[in-house]
Amino acid sequence: MSQLPKTEQVIKQMIQYKNNILALYEVRWTGMGQKRIDKDHSIIYSGNDTRDQGVSLLLTHVPVKAMICWTPISSRIITARFPGYYAKLSVVARYASTNDMTTPRYASTHQQRISRVSTMNK
């Protein structure tokens, strides 16, 4: 019995739970970009060159068509903006490894990332 690739398995569960936007962590893809998975699903992603981190948003065709913009801030943070009925909606996917919590560098890096996200247009 053949197994479905990981992406297809995630899409299958996304459909089952009726989600239109799904944040994925530790995707381990290099670079940043947007890829069409199939006719109904796309993925926007942000990773680094060492394939040890990465975040992404898996989207159905509805939010992809409505998306105003998306911004890969780092290999651990990605944002996307969507129009809402009363206001714009910002989706932020942030990966925080528990291994980094003990390093002294974590506090300053965390603060830098938070300040970049907080300067997003309201």
The DSSP code sequence of 69-100 is EEEE-SSSEEEEEE--SSS-EEEEEE---GGG
Global pTM reads 0.78
pLDDT tops 50 at residue 105: yes
Predicted local confidence at residue 26, as pLDDT: 85
Cα–Cα dist 80/15, whole Å: 21
Whole-number pLDDT of residue 102: 59
Length of the chain: 122
Q: Identify the pLDDT of residue 121.
A: 65
| Domains of the chain listed by start with CATH number | 6-118 (3.60.10.10)
Better-predicted residue by pLDDT, 114 or 86: 86
User: CA–CA distance from 52 to each of 34, 107, 108 (Å)?
Assistant: 19, 20, 20
The pLDDT, as a whole number, for residue 116 is 64
> How far is residue 20 from each of residues 14, 61, 72, 92, measured CA to CA in Å?
7, 8, 20, 15
Q: What are phi and psi of 7, to 5 degrees?
A: -60, -45
